[in-house]
Structure 1
């Protein structure tokens, strides 16, 4: 049902952009290699993702949609979904307490960490920048709300403990895109917030190549990028964590 709704929403945006030429937007999807590190703590000890849980790198995907309109007062809008689900299996080399359970040296544990996130971004362009640079430079700023679906599970043959939380994270958003020629552009994008011992930073750089252009319709692009996220929380629903994710990726999509 969710996939059907998302597909209809994307098609609606595309149809609207064709009916009203002043609307612009983007639809894209990508493959991403996620490399996590850091630790998680649930009521007990800090547990290292690599050393204690043997959490490995994962291949994943993401989707983006964006719509810009000509009404100056109203913000533009963008949506993003990213799948982030890690797992690991191994024999632990030190005892630790996780939740209400104690895992002892020699236990073989199966672990998983889920951090799927959903973003909605309300943003404005700085039109005078585009005019002053003849369209070479595009600057955006606004507010991003990320809903993080967090789940960290540690399981052995005798004990099983899971920490879960749904965390809404308001973040400041900004991006700069430089398009020296029509064939390619370079885009830098950032989201971030820090308060009361919590922080979340999501930084992204992308080279976009636009080999196919259909006048008055769409541009096809492919992108090569790198994303860095650092997620730090201090005692939310008895969960603390400091997790970093390095993420090279490729993407493809349509600009209309």
Structure 2
């Protein structure tokens, strides 16, 4: 990596521990079902091929642990499913992973970019009206992109970590049970870009001393542009609405 441009600014990270307002340990556990519309193309260094990708229902699960210890970051772990299937009839020869596919061939593709997010973050603001978290996320990807023709599958595995900046903003609406929020993970490395954005509204179904239960409705947009990363080039987009539940102990 020649340059790493983190897309979320972290100017006061080392001082942020003093801004954390939690006086007790906090545990957040959530799950989402995401209805994705998928599009794009991928290849292996000698030109990308577009596919008619299927729309899919994806799932996401996360847990976050927050504490009042200054300078020690909070931690969040999130599992993200990211799978789709594609189909196309080639209008010209296409080479993928050393295999040549001829014009007029009908080929299938399989994309699995499911990954785990490990986030370390600080609470810069934390009150009933506005909260702001900033930090860093490592996306652990164990990806598989393949071309299928008949019973033969030709694939490339991409296994590694992608570092991204992390930002999470929440704005409460006074005298209601609603909160607006936005979350971003983004990075630019040379000519490769990874963007994971979501916006939504949350409603407090239960608000008690024992636990809080929140209903989430939002929209998530993931874009993965790779330039010869592990031999893969891609311009893939996954976007759509989601429904979720979060419990805060």
In structure 2, distance between residues paired with 1:21 and 1:37: 45
Counterpart of 1:26?
A: 28
**TM-score, normalising length: structure 1:** 0.83
SS in 1 for 2:173: strand
Counterpart of 2:97?
A: 99
- The alignment yields a C-alpha RMSD, in angstroms, of 1.9
The structural deviation recorded for 1:239 is 1.1
The structural deviation recorded for 1:90 is 4.9
User: Which of 223, 229, 232 lines up with 1:239 in the alignment?
Assistant: 232
C-alpha contact 2:141 2:159 (8 A) present in aligned 1: yes
Deviates more, 1:83-92 or 1:141-150: 83-92
* Aligned: 1:188 with 2:190: no
Counterpart of 1:39?
A: 41
Q: Which runs of 5+ in 2 are unaligned?
A: 1-21
User: Which of 172, 178, 181 lines up with 1:179 in the alignment?
Assistant: 172
C-alpha contact 1:228 1:245 (8 A) present in aligned 2: yes
SS in 2 for 1:216: coil
Q: Which runs of 5+ in 1 are unaligned?
A: 1-19
Counterpart of 1:154?
A: 147
The structural deviation recorded for 1:25 is 2.5
Deviates more, 1:28-37 or 1:155-164: 155-164
Instruction: From the two aligned structures, give the one with the greater helix fraction.
Output: 1
Residues 178, 144 of structure 1: alpha-carbon distance in 2 compared, 3 angstrom cutoff: same
In structure 2, distance between residues paired with 1:246 and 1:233: 18
Instruction: Write out the 4+ residue segments of structure 1 that deviate beyond 6 Å after TM superposition.
Output: none
C-alpha contact 2:28 2:64 (8 A) present in aligned 1: yes
Residues 97, 159 of structure 1: alpha-carbon distance in 2 compared, 3 angstrom cutoff: farther
Residues 135, 160 of structure 1: alpha-carbon distance in 2 compared, 3 angstrom cutoff: closer
